[in-house]
Amino acid sequence: MSCELCGRENRGCRAALVDGVKMMLCPDCLKHHGGGVQESIRPPTNVERTVFHRAKKSTPKDIYKGMEKELVPNWSDVIKKSRKKKGLTREELGFHIEERTVTISKIENGDLRPSDKIVKKLEKELGISLLETVKEVTTPHHSSKAMTLGDFIRHE
Tens of pLDDT, residues 40-75? 445 555 555 555 555 555 567 766 676 778 888 899
pTM of the model: 0.48
Predicted local confidence at residue 40, as pLDDT: 43
* Pairwise pLDDT comparison (74 vs 137), residue with the higher score: 74
What is the three-class DSSP state of 124?
Answer: helix
Average pLDDT over residues 108-128: 92
Average pLDDT, the chain: 78
Predicted local confidence at residue 18, as pLDDT: 78
* DSSP H or E stretch at residue 132: strand 131-133
Q: How confident is the model at residue 10 (pLDDT cuts 50, 70, 90)?
A: confident
Predicted local confidence at residue 96, as pLDDT: 93
By the 8 A CB rule, do 68 and 133 touch?
A: yes
Q: Which domains are present in the chain?
A: 1-39 (no CATH), 73-130 (1.10.260.40)
Predicted local confidence at residue 114, as pLDDT: 92
> For residue 100, which of 109, 91, 108, 89 has the smallest C-alpha distance?
91
Predicted local confidence at residue 8, as pLDDT: 85
Q: What are phi and psi of 131, to 5 degrees?
A: -110, 145
Q: Which residues pair with 9 in a beta bridge?
A: 2
N-term to C-term CA, the chain = 64
Q: How confident is the model at residue 30 (pLDDT cuts 50, 70, 90)?
A: confident
Tell me the C-alpha distance between 80 and 19, whole Å: 63
Predicted local confidence at residue 148, as pLDDT: 75
> For residue 31, which of 53, 54, 50, 12 has the smallest C-alpha distance?
12
Predicted local confidence at residue 6, as pLDDT: 86
Q: Is the pLDDT of residue 118 over 90?
A: yes
